[in-house]
Structure 1
Amino acid sequence: MLIVALAFVVLLVMGMPVAFAIGIAGSLFFLQHPELPFTIPVQVTVSQTQNFALLAIPLFILAGNFMNRSGITERLLDLASVLTGRLRGGLAQVSLALSALMGGVSGSAIADAAMQARMLGEAMVQRGFTRGFAAGVLSFGAVLTPIIPPGIGMILYGSIGQVSIGRLFAAGFFPAFLLWLALTGAVWLTARRRGYRPERTTRPSLGEVGRGLRGGVWALLFPIFLLLGLRMGVFTPSEIGAFAVVYAVFIGLLVYRKLRRASFLEALEGSLADVGAVMFLIALSAIFSYGIVFERVPATISGWILGATDSLTAIMVLIALFVLVTGFFIDATVLILMLTPILLPLVRELGGDPVHFGIVFIVAATIGNFTPPVGAAMYVVCSILKCPVGEYSRESVPLFLAVGAVTLVLIFVPSLVLFLPELLFG
């Protein structure tokens, strides 16, 4: 597997798309083992797409695109401004609140970061924020998106690791709240030091709060409906994806009346591109995963880690650091696909809870989207704001430290992750 791993890294450095790099590097494994039929890569690629649980992914992507074009985003922005506009940092605080509210809508950290950069980026610069700090806030705020239902990373992790997706959905809420608090605190401290003003100087009236809540209520109810549907056994994870699509179309057509023929077709076209990219990546990752299992890589890594310590907490910290560093070079989706079969059995062997580990794993993997040298969300936001990566990196250090601190807290206090799933699912 060493040659396969080196080939994967070399292909990435050369700029090859991740899906092709995974597929080509994985195929090299079969050239090293002529005793294995070369029909296996084709078979595992096709069989990977037949996993019924993965049907939830294209459905949630489609629902997210419909909701983004239904007028929900503008109403959530109004609500975020009412709730956080008086905090130091102004639009930066509004963008973080919007990320928290949008988590149940987009499901994608990169999509959320790009959308907010287009909506708020230049306005933040005009209010005196440096481009690097504005880009950092808009980028790191999207860390909330994958762990608020229906995060795509949760569906991938749950499907690969045979972990309850309903429990994962429930487990994401409180960690997302902690991440929002930590990022809000980091922005407040920076704004106080630099003199960034609040967006509004007066307290919102009850009428303003009520109007904001009424405007965003359908988006706020969305993740709650998902959880209740799973908890009450009304839907399976795949079926609730279909419900999400119907819900999004209903809101867009009949409630906000913003989903017209043109925007409907745009949502379909965007979903086709998104689904094609994600499912192609998932399919080709099966070739890589086959070699990992065949070479007993999970057992080998487990032996190395267990040789260093038998403390579950220490091992979780080591894994989080490993995933964090690896995420600097590899996309979060790829990390979840590649590392779940390796790391989850180790945590289970030590008696760790797979839901607790899943949330920590997804947060640690997602941080790589916002860090050099290959953070996708970082490059999208920097491109939109025309911000140098060096300036972005310097200005984002407080935000990185805030997210890292919350990740450590989640490792050492599992009850912060598990109390809601246990309350809802027993």
Structure 2
Amino acid sequence: MMDLLPLIVLFIAIAIGVPVALAIGMAGMTFFMFAGAMPTELFVQRMIAVTHSFPLLAVPLFVMTGVVMNFAGITSRMMAFAESLTGHWIGGLAQVNVLLSTLLGGVAGSANADAAMQAKVLVPEMNKRGYDTAFSSAVTASSAIISVIIPPSIGLILYGFMSDVSIGRLFLAGIVPGIVLCVSMMALVAFMAKRLNLKPALDVKTTWGQRLVAFRGASLALMVPVGIVGGIRFGFFTPTEAGAMAVVFSIFVGILYGELKPHHFKPIMEQTIQATAIVLLVICMASTFGFFMTWERIPVIVAEAMLALTENPFLLLLMINVLLIIVGMFIEGSASLILLTPILVPVIASVGIDPVHFGIVMVLNLTIAGITPPLGTIMFTTCAVTGISIGAFVRAALPFYALLFTMLLILTFIPAISLWLPNLQFN
């Protein structure tokens, strides 16, 4: 019974509403307090030691890149470019919403950040043009999912760190699935826009000259993901160094545009520190809980239990997908990723599933769970900004749920979609 006490503490703490990071820390501390042969000082040591990781430094750097780009006016230029391409379509602003999420995936790398920004900027404009607020909120939250697998993705960085998988390969693996998700979601929005008789964002189609002007305004920002992936691929810098390069480049672009001012430095640092602290607190606490799981051989036990049920890779992936969706409905995506990656990667590796392919599936799965009730963080973020009720959001999001779960299954059982590009570049 004492061996399971940390797990019991974890589940009870989450059930009564204790913040996930603290719940994980309490569970880890329970192990060190009641394991007789384990000094309690080791709890603090494990918590601090994980922060010495060089790859983990990429998280605050890419967070800062997204914040700087918002202050530098780069985000608005990317929105203007997206609008010039799709604004004349029926339901044009909804299409802009989807396309902007794809473009921002290479900038912010965070679904919550993407959803919050677009909920503030695009949803009020969509409402002015007669869009239903619930539909606008559903499009915003659902399209934000694309940003988690378009490089640089914070989720992919965390998965690579926890599973010891090449972050460069993960970045490349996310490009094609991200594009496929974008195209499929734009097709769904076009279908729904005709049924709802939504108006275009622009009365007339933009000329190629106007699109070229909009592209020039966004071109420097669009070079960020290209430069990151290319630099990692050709060995110019590591993923962590790529984060530093992205920060420097975004500051340079902001100064070049004349929109980044000295007084922006303080709010940029504040927002970066706040966002980073949330992620790193979970990671630090999870390190102590991970020590408990390793000591008690929980990953090995779970692997043996799953493999006892089936060694078929397809059935195993289906089981894991169901597990991830259920867990993701109750625990925030980053926390779930940090907790479950050390447990599940040995399982999939034992049956020959590529860990890079599984990383795309796992990150996408847990992010989809973020727009589902009861505790989806992306859903709550969007609804808090737009003022729509959770019930109305869920009803409007039903077609997007169907699409996202279908795409998850396609990406799960057709690994070539994820692996084609990294295998081509790194073979």
Q: How would you bin the TM-score normalised by the shorter chain?
A: over 0.9
Distance 2:142 2:34 in 1: 41
Q: CA deviation at 1:127?
A: 2.0
Distance 1:27 1:318 in 2: 31
TM-score by length of 2: 0.96
1:230-379 mapped onto 2 (5 Å cutoff): 230-254=232-256, 256-379=257-380
Moved more, 197-206 or 236-245: 197-206
Aligned to 2:132: 130
Identity %: 38
Q: CA deviation at 1:201?
A: 4.4
Stretches of structure 2 that go unaligned for 5 or more consecutive residues are none
Q: Decide whether the 8 Å contact of 1:68 with 1:105 is kept in 2.
A: no
Q: Residue 105 of structure 1 aligns to a residue in which SS?
A: coil
Distance 1:369 1:387 in 2: 17
Deviation by residue 1:143-170 (Cα, 9 ceiling, x = unmatched) = 0111111111111111111111101111
Distance 1:7 1:83 in 2: 52
Q: Residue 401 of structure 2 aligns to a residue in which SS?
A: helix
Distance 1:5 1:124 in 2: 45
Distance 1:113 1:324 in 2: 20
1:3-402 mapped onto 2 (5 Å cutoff): 3-254=5-256, 256-402=257-403
Q: What is the identity, as a one-letter code, of the residue corresponding to 1:248?
A: S
Q: Decide whether the 8 Å contact of 2:221 with 2:250 is kept in 1.
A: no
Q: CA deviation at 1:337?
A: 0.4
Deviation by residue 1:155-193 (Cα, 9 ceiling, x = unmatched) = 111111111110111111111111112222222222222
CA 1:3–1:131: 2 relative to 1, 3 Å: farther
Stretches of structure 1 that go unaligned for 5 or more consecutive residues are none
TM-score by length of 1: 0.97
Q: What is the identity, as a one-letter code, of the residue corresponding to 1:61?
A: V
Counterpart check, 1:415 vs 2:412: no
Deviation by residue 1:292-311 (Cα, 9 ceiling, x = unmatched) = 11111111211222122211
Distance 1:279 1:414 in 2: 31
Distance 1:190 1:4 in 2: 47
Q: CA deviation at 1:2?
A: 4.2
Deviation by residue 1:53-111 (Cα, 9 ceiling, x = unmatched) = 11111111122211121111111111111111233322111111110011111111101
Distance 1:315 1:106 in 2: 32
Distance 1:124 1:185 in 2: 18
Q: Decide whether the 8 Å contact of 2:160 with 2:166 is kept in 1.
A: yes
Distance 2:28 2:376 in 1: 23
Distance 2:125 2:317 in 1: 40
Distance 1:131 1:29 in 2: 47
Moved more, 381-390 or 308-317: 308-317
Q: How many residues align?
A: 425
Q: Residue 199 of structure 1 aligns to a residue in which SS?
A: coil
Q: Decide whether the 8 Å contact of 1:88 with 1:191 is kept in 2.
A: yes
Q: Decide whether the 8 Å contact of 1:360 with 1:410 is kept in 2.
A: yes
